[in-house]
Amino acid sequence: MTDSQKAYEVLDEQLAARGIDVGAVKARLAQQAIETPSWGYGDSGTRFKVFPWRGAARDVHEKLADAAYVHRLTGAAPSVALHIPWDRTDDWVALKQEAESLGVRIGAINPNVFQDDQYKLGSLTSPNPAARENALAHMVECCEIMRATDSHLLSIWLADGTNYAGQDDLRTRKQRLEAGLAETYRHLPLGGRMLIEYKFFEPAFYHTDLPDWGTAYAMALKLGPQAEVLVDTGHHAQGTNIAQIVAFLLDEGRLGGFHFNSRKYADDDLIVGSVAPFELFTVFCELVSAGEMADNVAYMIDQSHNIEAKLEAMIQSVINCQVAYAKALIVDYAALAEAQRAGDVLGAHRIYMEAYETDVRPLLAKVREEKGLYPDPIAAHRAGDYAQRVAQERGVAASGGSGYPSA
């Protein structure tokens, strides 16, 4: 018996003694699916510098190959989000088939209306009618890409906003935003969903047109049932309780999905769970406790690797999502509810902490082994030759394959 197997046997006994159905937990862990972003496999970074990485993906085909590799190691990343026009291709049906041949599928389609010069003053909210028309045309194009690739998600983040008081009329911009989103909504494919992502500042600094979850929620309500809110864990002010936002949106039936990453100060897009793992745990607790209300939530990673190895960083983020989910699954929710009803403040808190402080890595290793995977994806990655092989084949990209400005 290996050390990993021994550790699992001990954990299995401990969880069973706490009344946890380990078989049910493993079944749910085996079904976990986390979408990785195409742009996370290319060169990316900050506004200060993009450091080229040998072997980073240079085009959408290499991004799909890398995403498939991460899925093979983790068994939990079956889809990849695309960013348009960074990932534009001449044949979307062929790209869909290519992804499927690699063992993954096309996930969310992300329009880009923030890098072109015409969007300097905004896209859907721009005072320039031509810019608004072009932004809307791009949104419609992305809806067509959804149809061609069998994607069910249009994930919209707008950089729109202003830098100075008086720069533009705020209510007029709101009305432009509503009109643009409404027209986009009308072009969604059957069964498709629009995820509206908010961010409280940056790149605009005086005001942002979609600054918070309340604004995104209000927009979704006006649009209809296919519009929902996307929560990016790095898009909040310091001290914001993201778990509370998640709980509210779940209860209202308007939580569409996540962009998971970590932040220390602003929108840092660091490895998921690297800065505030307890915050990530509390988010997953809200999702688990919501039961069926969380069934259609999309779990996506959005991170930009600047100084770390692309593939290993993505694998680590997937693992950290698995760890947070596993810990949330072993919370004794019946005992928690009883403690809450009794007003047992510390007793309820300790139930959370008991799960959070449990080392669930042996449980995840067991789940992977039962799926025919190596129990430790990082060890498998470091022992394999994929990263070295693509580094040799691809070299250093002449420009950032992610779509970020050239290094």
Cα 47 from Cα 57, distance rounded (Å): 20
Contacts of 234 (CB under 8 A, 6+ apart): 259, 261, 262, 263, 266, 267, 268, 269, 302
Q: In this structure, what CATH number is given to the domain that contains residue 95?
A: 3.20.20.150
The whole-number pLDDT of residue 395 equals: 95
Give this prediction's pTM. 0.97
The predicted-structure confidence for 268-300, as pLDDT tens digits, reads as follows 999 999 999 999 999 999 999 999 999 999 999
Token pair 């909504």: residue: 185
> 113, 158 in Cβ contact below 8 A?
yes
Instruction: Say how many CA atoms lie within 13 Å of 209 toward its Cβ.
Output: 30
Cα 57 from Cα 46, distance rounded (Å): 18
Single-letter code of the amino acid located at 295: D
Contacts of 374 (CB under 8 A, 6+ apart): 73, 368, 380
Angle at 130 between CA 127 and CA 134, to 5 degrees: 115
Cα 327 from Cα 356, distance rounded (Å): 6
Cα 157 from Cα 113, distance rounded (Å): 9
CA nearest neighbour of 51 among 388, 387, 310: 310
The predicted-structure confidence for 14-68, as pLDDT tens digits, reads as follows 999 999 999 999 999 999 999 999 999 999 877 788 889 999 999 999 999 999 9
CA nearest neighbour of 315 among 326, 303, 332: 303
Q: 3: pLDDT confidence band, cut at 50, 70 and 90? A: confident
> 157, 112 in Cβ contact below 8 A?
no
Contacts of 255 (CB under 8 A, 6+ apart): 228, 229, 231, 246, 249, 294, 297
255, part of any domain: yes
24, part of any domain: no
**In 129-212, which residue ranges form alpha helices assigned H by DSSP?**
129-149, 170-186
> 401, 42 in Cβ contact below 8 A?
yes
22, part of any domain: no
375, part of any domain: no
The whole-number pLDDT of residue 279 equals: 98
Number of domains the chain is built from = 1
Q: 108: pLDDT confidence band, cut at 50, 70 and 90? A: very high
pLDDT at residue 407 is higher than 70:
no
How is 388-400 classified by DSSP, letter by letter?
HHHHHHH-S-SS-
100, part of any domain: yes
Cα 351 to chain centroid, rounded: 28
353, part of any domain: no
256, part of any domain: yes
pLDDT at residue 398 is higher than 80:
no
